[in-house]
Amino acid sequence: MSSTCFMAAWLFVGAAGPAEGASEGAGVARATPSVDAAPAAVADDDGDDDDDGGALLETKPPAPPPADEHPDTVPEADKQLQFATHALDDEAGVYFKPGTGLVMQSKNKLFKLAPRLRVQFLDTVRVNTPVANPHSVDHSFQIRRARLQFGGHAFGQHNKYKLEIAMSPRDLGMTDGVVTKSPLLTWYVEFDYLRDLTLRVGQYKIPYSRQRVVSSGNLEFVDRTLANGEFNLDRDIGVDLRSNDLGGLGGRLRYYLGLYVGEGRDHYQTESLSDPDAQAGGLMYLARVELLPMGKFQDYSEVDFARGKMPRLSLGAAYAYLDEAKRVRGILGARPEDGGTTDYHNVTADFLFKWTGMTILQEFYWRRGSRNPGDAIVVDEDGVESPAPITAPRTGLGWSVQIGYLIPRTRLGVGVRYSQARAFGAETSLTDKDDVGGALSYYIAGHPLKLQLDYHHLRDDGFAGGFSDIIRVQLQFAY
**Cβ–Cβ under 8 Å, residues 217 and 45:** yes
CA 244 to chain centre: 16
CA proximity to 84, closest of 107, 104, 102, 56: 107
**Quick one: which of 189, 202, 200 has its CA closest to 160?**
189
| DSSP state, residue 161 | E
pLDDT score of 43 more than 50: no
Q: Rounded mean pLDDT of the chain? A: 85
Provide the pLDDT for residue 77: 67
CB 227 within 8 A of CB 402: no
How much is the pLDDT for 121?
98
Q: Give the three-class secondary structure for 210.
A: helix
Task: Report pLDDT for 272.
Answer: 61
pLDDT at 41 over 60: no
Residue 94 pLDDT grade (very low, low, confident, very high; cuts 50, 70, 90): confident
Is the model's pLDDT at 356 over the cut of 60?
yes
pLDDT at residue 70 in the model: 55
Per-residue confidence (pLDDT) for residue 64, from 0 to 100: 53
**SS3 of residue 262 by DSSP:** coil
Confidence of residue 133 (pLDDT cuts 50, 70, 90): confident
Residue 352 near residue 359 (C-beta atoms within 8 A): yes
pLDDT at 270: 72
Model confidence at 390: pLDDT above 70: yes
CA distance to 7, 9, 271, 274, 279, per residue, from 4 (Å): 5, 9, 12, 12, 16
Residues facing 119 on adjacent strands: 146, 477
User: What is the average per-residue pLDDT within 432-455?
Assistant: 97
CB 296 within 8 A of CB 251: yes
69: which residues sit within 8 A by CB, 6+ positions away? 83
Q: What share of the chain is helix, strand, coil (3-state, %, to 5)?
A: 10, 45, 45
- C-alpha span between 90 and 55 (Å, rounded): 11
State the average pLDDT over residues 345-362.
Answer: 98
Which has the minimum average pLDDT: 7-16, 177-186, 232-241, 320-329? 7-16
8-state DSSP, 83: I
Q: What is the mean pLDDT of residues 392-403?
A: 97
Side chain identity at residue 286, one-letter code: L
98 band by pLDDT with thresholds 50, 70 and 90: confident
Q: What is the pLDDT of residue 367?
A: 98
Contacts of 386 (CB under 8 A, 6+ apart): 377, 378, 379, 380
Mean pLDDT (whole number) for 84-95 = 71
Who has greater pLDDT, 79 or 100? Answer: 100
Query: Within 10 Å of residue 85's Cβ, how many Cβ atoms?
Result: 10
At 361, the pLDDT band (50, 70, 90 cuts) reads very high
Residue 266 scores a pLDDT above 90: no
pLDDT at 30: 58
Q: Which of 118, 120, 87, 105 is nearest to 42 (CA)?
A: 105
Q: Average of pLDDT values for 61-65? A: 52
Q: Answer whether residue 314 shows pLDDT above 60.
A: yes
- What pLDDT sits at residue 382? 85
What pTM did the predictor assign? 0.82
Residue 425: predicted pLDDT: 86
Mean pLDDT of 142-167: 97
d(CA 212, CA 229): 8
Tally the C-alpha atoms within 13 A of residue 133's C-alpha that lie toward its C-beta. 12
Q: Is pLDDT at 24 greater than 70 in this prediction?
A: no
Does pLDDT of 161 surpass 60? yes
Confidence of residue 189 (pLDDT cuts 50, 70, 90): very high
Q: For residue 66, what pLDDT is reported? A: 52
Q: What pLDDT does residue 69 have?
A: 55
Contact present, 290 and 245 (Cβ < 8 Å) = no
List, in order, residues 6 or more apart from 463 with CB less than 8 Å away: none
Tell me the C-alpha distance between 232 and 164, whole Å: 20
More reliable by pLDDT, 247 or 74: 247
Residue 214: per-residue pLDDT: 97
Q: Tell how strand 112-129 and strand 101-105 pair up.
A: antiparallel
Which has more confidence, 318 or 37?
318
Helix (H) or strand (E) holding 98: none
Domains within the chain, CATH numbers bracketed: 2-478 (2.40.160.10)
Q: According to the model, what pLDDT value does residue 337 have?
A: 93
